[in-house]
Amino acid sequence: MGGNARKLSVRWVAVELLVMALIGLVFGFLGPFGTYAMPVAMRLAYWVGFIIVGYAIFRPVSISAGWLRESIGIPVWTAELMATAVAALPLTFLIGFAISGMRFDPDVLGDRFVLLYLQCAAIGFGIFLFMRLLFGAEEAGEHVSDDRLEPDQPKKEPVKQTVKPVQTQLHDRLSPGFSSPIIALGVEDHYVRVHSAERSEMLLLRLSDAIRETKPLEGMQVHRSWWVSRDAIVTSKREGRNLRLSLSGGLEVPVSRAYVTKLKQTGWI
């Protein structure tokens, strides 16, 4: 019931809880799914209470789905549908228990349970969509996230870094004046742009072939259109939910979600 990728500061939890309460009030006034016949006060308490309980169930499941998405590179919608399917189950049991008079009623496990489950899942996924619309959608490379700075935490200033001068086979394809260390490769149409800290040149070459010719440089592909040299990485930063690498010379390179975990595991970020 909310975006996966925000680090849960106390302030942010308070904001999300306020939004959940407001959503509960809207449902309470509308009285959907046969609840309009309830007295107004009871109806409002019912919806606000269960929306907040649903948040307490959906939120950690949604965060776990985000971690799974990072690890295996599945689409955000697939991960969130999985989270909704899982989280709606315990919420359905709780609501069924409550509407049965706080006792176990075997009848609730029949067709009524399926209908109630679908209602819980629909509301949960709808709130997820609403939160994405309200606070911003995650661009592929959702991630993620557990490194997100708190609102009051100052960002670290990039540290100047010198790239070691390494000549590669790729230098043989470049103009004689291009003797600087290669810091990144970026795809532009059918070309590869070779970047140094001071300049760049275009080569008619596939990215995979260009990467092979960067040896003995230690580098990694971080996006379907980008490769970076490890020595060139100054810092990493987030723009919303997107991760970017700042390289020596000021170049910034986007990182795809599928590569975030690998960068972390290798200690590059």
Give the model's pLDDT for residue 182.
Answer: 94
CA trace torsion 8, 14, 20, 21 (10° rounding): 160
Instruction: Assess contact for 87 and 124: CB atoms under 8 A.
Output: yes
CA distance 211 to 217: 10
Can you give the pLDDT at residue 142? 40
CA 79, chain centre distance (Å): 10
Sheet with 252-255: list strands edge to edge: 233-239, 242-247, 252-255
Task: Give the pLDDT confidence of 12-58 residue by residue, as tens digits.
Answer: 788 889 999 999 999 989 988 888 888 999 989 989 998 999 899 99
pLDDT of 153 reads 40
| Per-residue pLDDT at 103 | 65
Grade residue 214 by pLDDT with cuts at 50, 70 and 90.
very high
> Across the chain, what does the average pLDDT equal?
79
pLDDT exceeds cutoff 50 at 84: yes
Instruction: Identify the pLDDT of residue 232.
Output: 92
Better pLDDT: 188 or 160 = 188
Share of the chain above pLDDT 90, in %: 27
Task: Identify the residue with better confidence: 63 or 82.
Answer: 82
> Is the Cα torsion angle 70, 159, 8, 12 positive or negative in sign?
negative
Q: Evaluate if residue 8 carries a pLDDT over 50.
A: no
Q: Pull the structure tokens for residue 182.
A: 């290669």
Tell me: pLDDT of 166 over 80.
no
User: Highest-confidence range of 165-169, 235-239, 247-251, 263-267, by mean pLDDT?
Assistant: 247-251
Span 231-237, mean pLDDT? 90
Quote the pLDDT of residue 44.
92
DSSP class per residue in 178-224: --SPP-EEEEETTEEEEE-SS-EEEES--HHHHHHTTTTS-EEEEET
Instruction: Give 100's pLDDT tier (boundaries 50, 70, 90).
Output: low
The more confidently predicted of residues 8 and 140 is 8
Mean pLDDT score, 61-74: 74
